[in-house]
């Protein structure tokens, strides 16, 4: 914003009114001129229920609340995007659009699930495909509007996901139903630190005549993290970043289709105690700490148990634990992981996510 950009966030926020965040600052405190969020978010927002993850957003106040069926939310967010672009056509724009369509429960528009009976006889998958198609349509509206406004070559669009596909035990596996979504053969799903839980597609579109992203290029080797977005996007925009040490790296070369050999490792933690959700199948449940450094990936629990090491130059399915063959590598990576873990804040937050002062 200090660099002259108009900034907005529309869609899922997941901070404020949440389970372990409490009455968090509004999006404006994070640098957004405008916002319109959904469950577990405050400020101007739209929610589809007063129960479950919507409950605290429904009762905490701090901004106007609208109610709408879940299948209508993405169209509302895209409408906000189009209005924001029109209102700020003389300024550069930084825009978040965080969609929630494929987060279960899947709630398609009435009658649309039946459009996919030829693809699958699983009614839950039919609902999943219906919301996926609608999400795709709404993204298309935004991309088309960018082109019609003459902004195609001046606009970088970055699209990715936040985690692997759903893995509820009681909702799917206990009923003898495979959950919707595909990991591409990788082990693990949501709530797991195996690749199926954390590896996501990343699509970058910037069709400049010179200096943009090469069309059709596929990179299956560069290792990136969401932590890289801030230093990368500020670099590409020519914006001076704050004088702090980022956990991520400037990955502009990878975004522009060039080779990037990552030097900085990536750390993960998920599942600090028994209250955390786990994948429905035992084989998809990982240790709760992970480290990726070059070809090696190490996983271990915070108490030092269940040490696993995988050589991704040989296989990435995480089926062959090579810790016994490379004990020095495994032990050193585990030591780094446990040391890193010591530096993390304790959870839950002081108010336990109740929204209390």
Beta carbons within 8 Å of 230's beta carbon, 6+ residues apart: 241, 246, 248
* pLDDT at position 355: 35
At residue 19 the predicted structure's pLDDT band, cuts being 50, 70 and 90, is low
Residue 226 placed within a domain: no
Q: Is the dihedral of CA 61, 66, 68, 72 positive or negative?
A: negative
What per-residue confidence (pLDDT) applies to 193?
A: 99
Q: Is the pLDDT of residue 20 over 70?
A: no
Identify the residue with better confidence: 37 or 349: 37
Query: What is the pLDDT at residue 272?
Result: 84
Residue closest to 7 by CA, chosen among 27, 23, 25, 21: 27
Task: List, for residues 147-174, the tens digit of each pLDDT value.
Answer: 999 999 999 999 999 999 999 999 999 9
At residue 47, the pLDDT reads 87
What pLDDT was estimated at residue 353? 39
pLDDT at 22: 61
DSSP state letter for 7: E
Confidence of residue 209 (pLDDT cuts 50, 70, 90): confident
Q: What is the DSSP string of 164-233?
A: -----TTTTGGGT-PPS---TT-S--TT-SSHHHH---EEEE---SSSSPPTT---SS----GGGHHHHH
User: Is 136 a member of any domain?
Assistant: yes
**Cα–Cα distance measured from residue 93 to residue 233, given in angstroms and rounded to the nearest whole number:** 12
- Decide if pLDDT at 17 tops 90: no
At residue 18, the pLDDT reads 55
- Mean pLDDT (the chain) is 91
| DSSP string for residues in 106-169 | P-PPTT-GGGGTTT-S-HHHHHHHHHHHHHHHHHHHHHHHHHHTT-GGG--EEEE-SS-----T
What gap in Å lies between CA 357 and CA 205, rounded to an integer? 43
State the total domains in the chain: 1
**In which domain, by residue range, is 110 found?**
1-140
Q: Among 147, 183, 159, 157, which residue's Cα sits nearest to residue 284?
A: 183
Residue 349 has pLDDT above 60, yes or no: no
Alpha helices in 73-116 (DSSP H): 73-87
Q: Is there a domain that residue 10 lies in? A: yes
Residue 96, classed as helix, strand or coil, is strand
Report the pLDDT value the prediction gives residue 273, as an integer from 0 to 100: 79
Q: State yes or no: pLDDT of 116 exceeds 60.
A: yes
- Given a cut of 80, whether residue 57 has pLDDT beyond it is no
Helices and strands of the chain, counted as H and E runs: 7, 11
| pLDDT for 21 | 55
Q: Which of 153, 152, 157, 177 is nearest to 167 (CA)?
A: 177
| 263 assigned to some structural domain | no
**Is 160 inside any structural domain?**
no
Note the pLDDT of residue 187: 98
C-alpha 156/C-alpha 159 separation (Å) is 10
pLDDT band at residue 354 under the 50/70/90 scheme: very low
> Which of 232, 130, 223, 121 has its CA nearest to residue 177?
121
Mean pLDDT of the 195-221 span? 92
**First CA to last CA distance, the chain:** 29
Are 237 and 3 contacting, i.e. CB atoms less than 8 angstroms apart? yes
Report the pLDDT value the prediction gives residue 16, as an integer from 0 to 100. Answer: 58
List, for residues 290-348, the tens digit of each pLDDT value.
999 999 999 999 999 999 999 999 999 999 999 999 999 999 999 999 999 999 987 65
Domain-located, residue 79: yes
Q: What is the pLDDT of residue 23?
A: 66
* Bridge partners, residue 159, by sequence: 203
Least confident among 12-26, 171-185, 296-310: 12-26
- Compare 131 and 19 and report the one with higher pLDDT: 131
Q: Residues with Cβ < 8 Å from 244, sequence gap 6 or more?
A: none
pTM: 0.92
State the pLDDT at residue 347: 67
The three-class DSSP label of residue 97 is strand
Instruction: Report the alpha-carbon distance of residue 84 to residue 91 in Å, rounded.
Output: 11
Those residues whose C-beta lies under 8 Å from the C-beta of residue 272, and which sit 6 or more positions away, are: 288, 302, 347
Model confidence at 62, pLDDT cuts 50, 70, 90, reads confident
Q: Which residue has the higher pLDDT, 39 or 265?
A: 265
Q: Determine, yes or no, domain membership for 180.
A: no
Q: What is the pLDDT of residues 215-251, one digit of tens each?
A: 999 999 999 999 999 999 999 999 988 888 899 999 9
Q: Which residues pair with 15 in a beta bridge?
A: 41
């Amino acid at each position: 914003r200090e660099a002259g950009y108009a900034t907005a966030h529309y869609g899922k926020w997941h901070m404020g009114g949440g389970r372990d965040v409490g009455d968090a600052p509004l999006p404006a405190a994070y640098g957004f001129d405008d916002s319109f969020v959904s469950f577990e978010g405050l400020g101007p927002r739209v929610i589809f229920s007063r129960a479950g993850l919507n409950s605290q957003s429904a009762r905490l106040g701090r901004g106007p609340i609208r109610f709408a069926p879940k299948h209508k939310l993405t169209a509302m967010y895209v409408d906000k995007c189009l209005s924001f672009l029109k209102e700020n056509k003389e300024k550069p724009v930084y825009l978040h659009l965080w969609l929630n369509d494929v987060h279960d429960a899947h709630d398609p528009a009435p009658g649309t699930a039946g459009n996919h009976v030829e693809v699958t006889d699983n009614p839950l998958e039919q609902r999943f495909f219906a919301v996926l198609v609608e999400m795709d349509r709404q993204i298309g509206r935004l991309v088309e509007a960018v082109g019609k406004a003459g902004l195609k070559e001046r606009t970088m669009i970055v699209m990715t996901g936040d985690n692997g596909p759903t893995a509820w035990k009681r909702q799917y596996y206990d009923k003898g139903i495979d959950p919707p979504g595909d990991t591409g053969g990788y082990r693990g799903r949501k709530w797991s630190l195996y690749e199926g839980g954390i590896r996501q597609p990343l699509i970058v579109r910037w069709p400049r005549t010179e200096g943009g992203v090469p069309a059709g290029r596929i990179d299956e080797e560069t290792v990136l993290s969401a932590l890289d977005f801030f230093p990368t996007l500020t670099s590409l925009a020519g914006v001076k970043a704050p004088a702090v040490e980022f956990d991520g790296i400037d990955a502009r070369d990878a975004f522009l289709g060039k080779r990037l050999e990552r030097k900085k490792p990536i750390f993960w933690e998920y599942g600090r105690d028994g209250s955390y959700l786990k994948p429905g199948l035992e084989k998809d449940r990982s240790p709760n700490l992970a480290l990726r450094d070059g070809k090696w990936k190490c996983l271990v629990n915070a108490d030092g148990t269940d040490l696993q090491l995988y050589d991704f130059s040989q296989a990435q399915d995480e089926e062959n634990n090579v810790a016994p063959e490379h004990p020095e590598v495994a032990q050193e990576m585990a030591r780094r992981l446990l040391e890193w873990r010591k530096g993390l804040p304790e959870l839950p937050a002081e108010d336990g996510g109740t929204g209390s002062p």
